[in-house]
Amino acid sequence: MLNQGGIVRSTSQRNEKPWTREEFREQLIDVGRNSYHDKHPFHVAMHEGVLSKKQIKGWVANRYYYQKCVPIKDAIIMSKLPSREFRREWIQRIIDHDGNQEEQGGIEAWVKLGEAVGLSREEILREDHVVPAVRFSVDAYVTFAREKPWIDAVASSLTELFSPILISERIKILERLYPWIDSSGLGYFRNRLTQAPRDTDFALKVVLDYCQTREEQQRAVNALQFKCDVLWAQLDAIEKAYPN
């Protein structure tokens, strides 16, 4: 299944007039409108309540690999940020996932979600169910952060502009249509509802401020499209691995 991304990927916009701040913001939003993973058939099926227990378990077990790698990519981005003010903002993302003395963090919360859907902690942590294409797509995201300029990596995180609507819907759907999931396991998603908007407020401002030429703006749009493709590819792989 292909996503609907119709974004022009050319980077030869040198002579074109920059978009206004508002136009640029709209271009970024358009990427999500066309190709965010809420439109993937696997997510659509989840929200229709028709996924089997095996499919939900497969999704949670595979997405563990994404959760585990997000703070690694954030540490890479942090190492490249141009100022301590920026690092001070970005470091919160790593703490959110890895936790600290007070909070267990998002990765632990994801493991709890895994247990709530019937996986054992050990099989999650050993990545027993992670399929190759999920691993490849997540690794591509980490590599993108490593190899591209920091502003591209920041732009690629902007898929989180679109996640709160999807996640708040998902919480209600999982509670209502998958009652066999222990709802205490949904804490991960509840936390994201405040973490994601805080993260994107900062990331969006930085991208809008830093990308001034049309070429820079187009690079940011392309980075966001790339990230949508990363998320889409994960679901393609999960859908294939768990057809029913």
Cβ-proximal residue to ligand PQQ, closest one: 159
Which residues of the chain form contacts with ligand PQQ (CB under 6 A)?
70, 157, 159-160, 163, 166-167, 192, 231
CB-nearer residue toward ligand PQQ: 13 or 185:
185
130: left (phi over 0), alpha (psi -120 to 50) or beta: beta
* CB 188 to ligand PQQ: min, Å: 7
CB-nearer residue toward ligand PQQ: 117 or 167:
167
* CB 150 to ligand PQQ: min, Å: 13
C-beta pairs of 97-103 under 8 Å, 24+ apart in sequence: 97/67, 97/70, 97/71, 98/71
CB-nearer residue toward ligand PQQ: 13 or 70:
70
User: Beta-carbon neighbour count of residue 80 at 10 Å?
Assistant: 17
CA-to-CA distance for 34 and 39, rounded, in angstroms?
8
The structure tokens 């940020």 sit at 81
CB-nearer residue toward ligand PQQ: 27 or 168:
168
Strand positions, DSSP E, 91-221: none
CB-nearer residue toward ligand PQQ: 136 or 213:
136
* CB 38 to ligand PQQ: min, Å: 7
* CB 115 to ligand PQQ: min, Å: 17
Cα separation values, 89 from 28, 95, 144, 206, Å? 22, 11, 21, 11
CA-to-CA distance for 166 and 169, rounded, in angstroms?
5
* CB 63 to ligand PQQ: min, Å: 7
